[in-house]
Structure 1
């Protein structure tokens, strides 16, 4: 790592001392915890985007890579190269934790960071294993279905029926059908794929025949549900909503027009919006 000054000036002209760590990745975890507190404290007064700030941030990342390796070790890689991928995505979680950590939380950085790292790794497995996320029980049923299908196909010389699979797998016929449907989620097909029976050039594709949800329809339903709730508001509350969301005035501008403080405007808007939200989500309780 390129050498950096041990003393720098932040934008408030206060002297900020940054320790120079020669080999951040080789710092012992116990020492990394202590040094991390120092670097987070310094980063709080450094201007984001400066060379010094980037040095502090990069050093924090490298010093805490042991957290990523620890979290990655909890996941068994199914392919030889996958562990490298797990470490890479875990590092993304570490970076997010560093960018969002605040010393005022009075919590150890390790405690704060590990959930971010593990969450990023779990998201990696979720997004790369199945084209569409399905419950674990159906993922397991898909594996058993494949085994049962192969066994019965060899034994019977033909594709097995749902009833035959049901008997072998000790599942109901509905559960077998559900597992078959879930199997379709393991691989996806491009919307640009040609529809069977159509010519490859100039023929219809899946995107041509699949319906699409009309966003205007959902908007219409929301407006229809919101109208009576707005009608039930006091005139002042309706005026506040009009000024904020129709005329798009700031809270300060609304306060000047109505002769109240910005804090009052904020409180009234929050209360009114909360009432409308409750009415939309729980219409029977509104």
Structure 2
């Protein structure tokens, strides 16, 4: 069973093997056996956790720490997952692992506890500060920063007073030699890259599509891989264009419903 899955078929095989191990764990009565099955699930899906950790690199945390947190998230997902819900394991594990990594950045990397709003404001200040310096030709005052961000000056002063509480790399740190005035903040996106979410969705869709009826799989392939018109799909299947439209609506609605985050933790 491949653990580094690069094709929909391999991902479907990994999902099937994972489900088999988890079902066996449900009925196992020996604690040692249950633990061994859990470890096999984690080992089988380890690359999923590592892949998520890689997507959060370059944001100030050590790579090893990110991978460890992601693996703990995978262990949590494998422990709490319930096969009887019908939700694919990958569909439960990915948001669980990603949530653990985000919580690590939000909670675990601060040596002194400060309000989350100040954590977020520090990031906003770090992003806008180079622009203001360039525009003004000098360091901006707290009032000028506050005006640009649309916040009270007192909040800017409060956030500035809390600087240094973050125990990883500062957003004000230069990226490196040869990069001019480029700061770490300039290289970190304001929001999570939407392409990363797309990759996660594709990973989750594999087992769902494999479980569809052959005709439904054929319709999806012709519509979204071959880019056929609905009329041509209908001619190929011997049905009308209207029937194809209704079938596509039903298939996509079912996939969306299965992809919605569902809390199946114990």
Which structure: greater helix fraction? 2
The TM-score, its normalising length taken from structure 2, stands at 0.49
Rg larger for: 1
Looking at both structures, which has the greater relative contact order when contacts are Cα pairs under 8 Å and sequence separation is at least 6?
A: 2
The TM-score, its normalising length taken from structure 1, stands at 0.46
